[in-house]
Structure 1
Amino acid sequence: MKGKGFTLIEMILAIVISSIVLLGVANFTEFGMRGYFGSVERFRLQTEARFVLEKLSREVRHAVPNLFPASVSSGCVSFYPIVDSGFYATSGADINFLVSDTGATSSSLQSMSLVINPTRPHTDISNLNNIYPLDSVVPPSVSAAYFSIPNGANTLVSESVGKRHYIFDSNNLVEYCLANSNLLTRNGVTISDRVMSENSTLSYQPADVQSNGVVELILEFAENNESTVFELDIQVTNVP
């Protein structure tokens, strides 16, 4: 009776062919996994970049217009967030003003400052015109539903066309900086560690007769030898 089974040569051929097939499948799987993890890292990078750009854009657009301190160090942009805003009117030597926060009191405004018609960046906020600390503001009364700055009109250099004012905290300066080691920081706190600082720029262009102030930024985000460059001009939408 004829025996059944593999010969030695057939067995060796089967092992060799199976090994080749398994090696091909392994390489294909490895290639697919690399592509998957690469796409995940790429998505994370894009998500982080969008978060940084959106956060910076929103804060700049809601900052006190034209009150961007002239940065001593390059690669930094500084500004003051708006705490409240409203309209004002001069009455004799006083400045009377309204705020949007109906719950505001003289106590809640004591640590704030009010600015009218800010027009230029600065290095020292105490040397600017039309800025009034509200530590001695007069609160509304039964006969007058507005706050008042006594003798404020005497030092008012230039007025706002729309009679607008902005209230901000002079101790709450927000500063974004491109730092070493590929960091983008906000008041010294890292918000991204994937920004190629040497290939990125962050600056403020002051307002002129034709346009409002603009923050110009070029940010290069990099991960695993791949980089994406974002260029954006952020216009300060509020007007003096």
Structure 2
Amino acid sequence: MKDRGFTLMEMIVTIVVGSFIMLGIAGYVQLGMKGYADTIDRQRIQTQAQFVLEKMTREIRHAVPNSFHVPKDASHCLEFVPIEYSGFYTFKNNDLEFLLGNDSTLNPIPANRRMVINPSRYEDLQSTSSRNIAIGGLAKTGKVFVVTGAASTITGSSVSSRLYIYREKSEVRYCFDTKRVTRNGITVADSVDTSVSGMRYLEPTLQRGGLVHINLEFEQDGERSVYQQDVQVLNVP
């Protein structure tokens, strides 16, 4: 019996068949890796969107009522003033007495703080408005803070006797520009289609409080993910 090896034709056929098998395996592996990479990218976008929405929601809900406005120098932005302290007040003779509800141990009031009662617009929080007063450095008289003569100088009033304290020049600004969402100039989200994304403040009505409508549309590799949310401003005058 004679030993017989591959003929040239058999070798060529074997090489061709083996090449097709290797190409098939490589294509399958590549498809799996691409699917995994796409899943990671989608998860990154989703995580980023959840983070941004949660951060925006938390800050919007704790903003001074009616402090939302579109800055004059940036039409693609929404700006508001965060609350630092809040409490309740009463007028006694010509003085204003108040207590803080979220930090009863604070004493004195930190510097560069102002107090506002029932603001109706952003301008009411400016130092030139009679609806707010400077209280930086104010110390307690007994168990309460007392602003001497404030009853005749402050023009705001609240049916629920609520007041808000904020820091001067503490505005928070969210902007949508160049495929990014920024907070005070710092990027908090990218891959955003800023031509259709944005934030819009809806003023309070008799049926509801103020609302901020958020629309985020992410674009990556031809895929789009849309996130929309309405955030109610919890604080009331």
Aligned residues: 235
Q: Which moved more, 1:144-153 or 1:154-163?
A: 154-163
**Aligned partners of 1:195 and 1:222 also within 8 Å:** yes
Give, as a single letter, the amino acid of the residue that structure 2 aligns with 1:31: L
Aligned residue for 1:90? 91
Distance in 2 separating the partners of 1:80 and 1:171:
8
Note if contact 1:93-1:154 (Cα within 8 Å) is conserved in structure 2: yes
Distance 1:15 1:136, change over 3 A: closer
Deviations 1:110-144, CA, capped at 9 Å, x for gaps: 3211111122344872344421110363x223xx3
Computed over aligned residues only, the root mean square deviation of the Cα atoms, in angstroms, reads: 1.8
CA deviations on 1:25-54 (whole Å, 9 max, x unpaired) are: 111111111111011111111111111111
**Residue matched to 1:20:** 20
| Aligned mates of 1:213, 1:233 — CA distance in 2 | 10
Using the size of structure 2 for normalisation, the TM-score is: 0.92
2:218 paired residue number: 221
Q: Percent identity over the alignment?
A: 39
Q: Distance in 2 between matches of 1:159 and 1:228?
A: 45
Q: Following superposition of structure 1 onto structure 2, how do residues 6-155 of structure 1 map, counting pairs within 5 Å?
A: 6-72=6-72, 73-99=74-100, 100-106=102-108, 108-122=109-123, 125-135=126-136, 137=138, 139-141=139-141, 144-155=142-153
Matched position secondary structure for 1:39: helix
- The one-character-per-residue Cα deviations of 1:170-193 (angstroms, maximum 9, x if unpaired) are 2211111112x2111111111122
Secondary structure of 1:50's counterpart equals: helix
With normalisation by structure 1, the TM-score equals: 0.90
Higher relative contact order (CA 8 A, sep 6+): 1
| Runs of at least 4 residues off by over 6 Å | none
Runs of at least 5 residues in structure 2 that lack an aligned partner in the other structure: none
Answering whether residue 174 of structure 2 is matched by residue 176 of structure 1, we say yes
Whether the 8 Å CA contact 1:136–1:149 is kept in 2: the answer is no
Q: Deviations over 1:55-74 (max 9, x none)?
A: 01111011112222443232
What SS does the corresponding residue of 1:199 show, helix, strand or coil?
coil
Q: Residues 133 and 154 of structure 2 are in contact (CA less than 8 Å); yes or no, is this contact kept in structure 1? A: no
Structure 2 distance, partners of 1:86, 1:225, is 50
